[in-house]
Amino acid sequence: MHDIASRDDIKVFVDAFYGGMKSDDLVGHIFLDVMQVDWSHHLPKMYDFWEMLLLDGSHYKGAPMRPHMEVNQKEPLTMAHFDRWFELFSATLDAHFVGPKTEEAKTKALNIAQTWAYKFKLINEQ
């Protein structure tokens, strides 16, 4: 195994993550049933997002909190959702890559999960 070094590597872990996540009992139905995600539109955005975070890419344009707010309005997101998302994300990375950039991806994902879980907890308690 090697470390994440290119957009092609990002495509590998993003595709593997979402491919496996779809069948997860806790978070899969949010993507499939609640939001009915258009994968042909969503996956390229995720490639751009992770390329921006890990490889200084400049293609990502968007506000990632906004679509998650829409999800939360349909089904309140909890810490359990974010914990499971991170668990699946981290396991996917570990199955395909090893190295400092891979660890950086896990750290960034954990920070996103924890920050967003806290924000949604506050929103849901209002």
Residue 76 lies in a domain: yes
Residue 87 lies in a domain: yes
Residue 2 lies in a domain: no
What is residue 126's predicted lDDT score, i.e. its pLDDT? 58
Question: pTM for this one?
Answer: 0.89
SS3 string of 94-106?
Answer: HHHECCHHHHHHH
- Rounded to whole angstroms, the Cα distance separating 119 from 18 reads 23
Residue 1 lies in a domain: no
What is the CATH number for 34? Answer: 1.10.490.10
Number of domains in the chain: 1
What is residue 26's predicted lDDT score, i.e. its pLDDT? 93
Residue 74 lies in a domain: yes
Residue 110 lies in a domain: yes
Number of Cα atoms under 13 Å in the Cβ half of residue 18:
19
Residue 64 parent element (H or E): none
Residue 5 parent element (H or E): none
Print the domain residue range for 107. 7-125
What is residue 77's predicted lDDT score, i.e. its pLDDT? 86
Residue-wise pLDDT tens digits, 44-79: 999 999 999 999 988 888 888 888 888 888 988 888
Q: What integer best gives the mean pLDDT of the chain?
A: 92
Residues lower than pLDDT 50 in the chain: none
